Copies of this chain bind each other. A is one copy, B any other.
């Protein structure tokens, strides 16, 4: 991974002023002495070999017995898997993994039931407690559907539960029904859980090579372990410096449509980690060049309260060369002999120039290509940067007390005791 912090309009002197805070954040994170230190299991993540085999084995059985897997989960039990799967799957071919339990829409679940009616399915329900209403309701509906379709015995082979190791409603259901279970670790919060069984089972079932994914994570863990010359820390410092200067919105920018859900995952990671105590950068995203023709006007000339972090994917996986002869009806001869990826990159470079000229600071993160290894690296980079950034902001980056507020009001309206 390469990083270009130059166009962020923050110089090294300014970052030096953060040095003692970065040091403290680094030691707090690595020595578990800071806020939220019960949830730092992701920092030195290592998936146990037996656990990994069991995940791969379950994924193989899911693939063999099903046309598709329905993953039931919300928030951190949803976005990580979806982000990795969409980044690494064919854009148009029919999906091997669908998602439920991430909303309460009646039309959504009814249409899902219609769609799977002539298909063989498996379920992976993911919830630490089992009481979160969205996955609980969807799991009830889908479990009953499966028991009707397959019977209790066959359903048992098709339902996989990822939950607390010992307690909670979902664990009880799994015990009672005899479902195979995977563990949501106690020391890793939802938004940091993509490289635990929470994310790994659906990702493996989608056909993604999770060994390669983890190789990227482990390499990133080493690459971003040290206090000195750590781009995670530099990114974290720059974000906080820009925020102090009034840049209250950060846009994560991609030029590859498959990265859309990486942005959604990133929005949860940073928004939920930093958005508290009436502060925090508002995380948003654009998928370019698509959104240059919708949000582009605002970014170029609207209120000057934003900055951008651009993911630059150097090489495409599939290549296409344009041949446009002079005088052809398209009038595209200026593109003759260029690859589409080259054109896309010139759009990106031109946009970085235009937006920085328009007083929008830009950070550019370069990855070689979209594959398991580099996606693993990229996500770990953001996780580490986010933990440090939250410490620099002086919040607890590992709790989410505000998520309870709507639940409390909703449960009261629903008459739950």
Q: Which residues of A contact B (CB under 8 A)?
A: 74-76, 78-79, 90-94, 98, 102-112, 114-115, 131-134, 136-137, 139-141, 169, 172-173, 176-177, 190-191, 248-249, 255-258, 264, 267-268, 271-272, 274-284, 287-290, 292-306, 316-320, 322, 324, 329-332, 334-335, 338-341, 343-344, 346-347, 349-351, 353-355, 357-358, 370, 400-403, 405-417
Contacts and interface: CB of A to CB of B under 8 A. Distances in A.
Contact of A280 (B288, B298, B412): B298
Contact of A347 (B104, B296, B332): B104
7 contacts: A177-B329, A275-B295, A296-B406, A346-B410, A346-B413, A349-B409, A354-B405
Contacts of A268: 293-295
Contacts of A276: 297, 301-302
A354 to B, nearest CB: 4
Contact of A105 (B169, B255, B415): B255
Nearest to A190: B293
A75 B406 contact: no
B104 A255 contact: yes
Contacts of A332: 136-137, 140
Contact of A297 (B271, B301, B417): B271
A396 to B, nearest CB: 11
Contacts of A257: 103, 105, 108
A322 B134 contact: no
A330 to B, nearest CB: 5
B290 A303 contact: no
Contact of A343 (B133, B281, B289, B406): B133
Given A280-B302, A282-B306, 12 more contacts: A90-B111, A104-B289, A105-B257, A105-B340, A137-B322, A275-B302, A275-B303, A276-B302, A282-B302, A283-B295, A343-B414, A349-B410
A110 B320 contact: yes
A292 B275 CA distance: 13
Contacts of A295: 267-268, 271-272, 275, 283
Contacts of A249: 249, 282
Contacts of A137: 322, 332, 335, 340, 343
B264 A282 contact: no
B290 A354 contact: no
Contacts of A330: 136, 139-140, 169, 173
Contact of A406 (B350, B370, B413): B350
Among A176, A268, A293, which residue has the most Cβ atoms of chain B within 10 A?
Answer: A293
Contacts of A302: 271, 274-276, 278-280, 282
Contact of A294 (B103, B272, B350): B272
B107 A316 contact: yes
